[in-house]
């Protein structure tokens, strides 16, 4: 269930259905009107003048529809997924930090998602359906007023060298396994799996041993990331509220579908204890990443666009105590998948700013202050 599917939905203008959950005291109960006309900063044309935390914004990709860009640990390479080169669905690519040497790092078969460098940068990990066939598994048709993610049962985790060679399966299991990230301490992976009968987060040793289920609430848990000290995990949730919503969730899951238009960011300890809800915003909050100092989380949300019903996503930052919500981007369109370099000096993200075509999303990088 690649989050890039959400990008496609936003590009097509499908409107999310907000649920009107209560707002935390520090967050406005009613979103202010969105004012997104791009205001280029002097001498920095890719940056809006209101994006005060960003400097020297550079566009790294110029073709295809790109998503989920993440740094290598040494900051010299970037892994990302892209639909390009005549392919019908995403494959995993790697490029140098300046955008050069963009090359295929997955098999070129099936559909892929969620590439990440394993600690040490000698191998990458990603999810792929190529074990179930060479073609792209079809997504469900779009229905006005709804959006459903396919939970592809042929998604499995694979590791490979950054040049795409030496592909090896990891944690092989029937059903959905994807969305894996590596802990900075080099000990663990966290990933999303349906092996429990629900869509939960699981932790494993870096070699795939000693599996531990971390979440058990009814609903979708995914997109987990580690704090810089490897002590905390942040992730996105879509928990049904009430019997009717829970019944609908379970019926859709039997069809290998979820409808996650209402998402929040949660945080827990690395062993699954101490779970707490971090955001209480209308619409969808997803793609969390810890700040370099580990004291806040940056994420994407559409909560200010028509109170969570719109397609414009921006980046926000919030402290780990749930206060101090701050908006970081003002580009309009789609801004998501933030990721800090290991030294904390640069921020990667995917944006629809200055796109040459309606469904084009590119990888951008900036100095972060």
Q: Is residue 200 part of a domain?
A: yes
Please answer whether residues 281 and 27 qualify as being in contact, where contact means their C-beta atoms are separated by less than 8 angstroms.
yes
Higher pLDDT, 307 or 74: 74
* pLDDT of 262 higher than 50: yes
Q: Band the pLDDT of 122: cuts 50, 70, 90.
A: very high
- DSSP 8-state assignment for residue 102: -
Q: Band the pLDDT of 19: cuts 50, 70, 90.
A: very low
Please answer whether residues 161 and 27 qualify as being in contact, where contact means their C-beta atoms are separated by less than 8 angstroms.
no
Nearest to 114 by CA among 249, 106, 122: 106
Higher pLDDT, 301 or 3: 301
CATH of residue 95's domain is: 2.120.10.30
Please answer whether residues 128 and 137 qualify as being in contact, where contact means their C-beta atoms are separated by less than 8 angstroms.
no
Q: Band the pLDDT of 24: cuts 50, 70, 90.
A: very low
Residue 29: per-residue pLDDT = 40
Please answer whether residues 263 and 286 qualify as being in contact, where contact means their C-beta atoms are separated by less than 8 angstroms.
yes
Q: Band the pLDDT of 30: cuts 50, 70, 90.
A: very low
Residue 35: per-residue pLDDT = 56
Burial 16-38 (b: 16+ CB within 10 A, else e): bebeeeeebeebeeebeeeebeb
Q: Band the pLDDT of 305: cuts 50, 70, 90.
A: confident
Radius of gyration of the chain (CA): 19
* pLDDT of 252 higher than 60: yes
Higher pLDDT, 179 or 6: 179
SS3 category, 253: helix
* pLDDT of 200 higher than 90: yes
Residue 18: per-residue pLDDT = 35
Provide the domain limits for residue 67: 4-19+46-368
pLDDT above 90 as % of the chain = 78
Q: Is residue 105 part of a domain?
A: yes
Q: Is residue 215 part of a domain?
A: yes
* pLDDT of 357 higher than 60: yes
pLDDT tens digit sequence for 31-78: 444 556 788 898 999 999 999 999 999 999 999 999 999 999 999 999
What pTM, to 2 d.p., does this model score?
0.91
SS3 category, 249: helix
Residue 31: per-residue pLDDT = 44
Which phi and psi (to 5°) does residue 7 adopt? Answer: -60, -45
Q: Band the pLDDT of 23: cuts 50, 70, 90.
A: very low
Q: Is residue 269 part of a domain?
A: yes
Please answer whether residues 264 and 272 qualify as being in contact, where contact means their C-beta atoms are separated by less than 8 angstroms.
no
Residue 25: per-residue pLDDT = 29
Q: Band the pLDDT of 258: cuts 50, 70, 90.
A: very high
Per the prediction, the chain carries an average pLDDT of 90
What is the total count of domains within the chain?
A: 1
* pLDDT of 21 higher than 70: no
Residue 57: per-residue pLDDT = 97
Nearest to 221 by CA among 204, 203, 198: 198
Q: CB under 8 Å to 35, separation ≥6 — which residues?
A: none
Q: Is residue 31 part of a domain?
A: no
Q: Is residue 32 part of a domain?
A: no
Q: Band the pLDDT of 15: cuts 50, 70, 90.
A: very low
When pLDDT is averaged across residues 155-182 and rounded to a whole number, the result is: 96
């Amino acid at each position: 269930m690649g989050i890039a599917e959400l990008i496609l939905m936003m590009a097509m203008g499908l409107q999310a259905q907000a649920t009107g959950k209560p707002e935390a005291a520090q967050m406005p109960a009613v979103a202010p009107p969105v004012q997104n006309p791009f205001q280029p900063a002097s001498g920095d044309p890719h940056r809006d003048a209101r994006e005060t935390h960003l400097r020297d914004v550079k566009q790294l990709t110029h073709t295809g529809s790109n998503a989920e860009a993440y740094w290598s640990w040494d900051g010299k390479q970037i892994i990302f997924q892209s639909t390009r080169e005549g392919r019908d669905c995403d494959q995993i690519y790697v490029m140098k930090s300046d955008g050069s040497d963009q090359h295929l790092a997955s098999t070129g078969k099936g559909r892929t998602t969620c590439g990440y460098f394993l600690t040490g940068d000698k191998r990458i990990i990603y999810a792929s359906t190529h074990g179930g066939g060479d073609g792209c598994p079809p997504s469900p048709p779009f229905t006005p007023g709804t959006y459903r993610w396919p939970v592809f049962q042929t998604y499995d985790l694979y590791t490979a060298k950054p040049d795409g060679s030496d592909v090896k399966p990891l944690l092989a299991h029937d059903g959905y396994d994807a969305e894996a990230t590596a802990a900075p301490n080099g000990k663990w992976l966290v990933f999303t799996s349906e092996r429990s009968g629900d869509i939960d987060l699981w932790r494993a040793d870096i070699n795939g041993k000693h599996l531990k289920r971390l979440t058990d609430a009814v609903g979708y848990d995914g997109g987990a990331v580690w704090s810089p000290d490897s002590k905390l995990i942040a992730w996105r949730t879509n928990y049904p509220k009430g019997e009717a919503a829970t019944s609908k969730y379970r019926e859709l899951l039997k069809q290998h579908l979820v409808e996650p238009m209402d998402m929040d960011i949660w945080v827990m300890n690395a062993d699954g204890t101490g779970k707490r809800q971090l955001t209480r915003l209308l619409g969808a909050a997803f793609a969390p990443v810890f700040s370099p100092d580990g004291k806040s989380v940056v994420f994407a949300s559409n909560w200010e666009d028509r109170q969570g019903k719109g397609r414009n996503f921006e980046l926000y930052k919030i402290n780990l105590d749930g206060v101090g919500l701050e908006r970081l981007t003002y580009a309009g369109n789609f801004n998501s998948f933030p990721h800090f370099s290991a030294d904390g000096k640069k921020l990667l993200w995917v944006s629809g700013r200055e796109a040459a075509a309606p469904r084009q999303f590119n990888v951008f990088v900036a100095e972060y202050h």
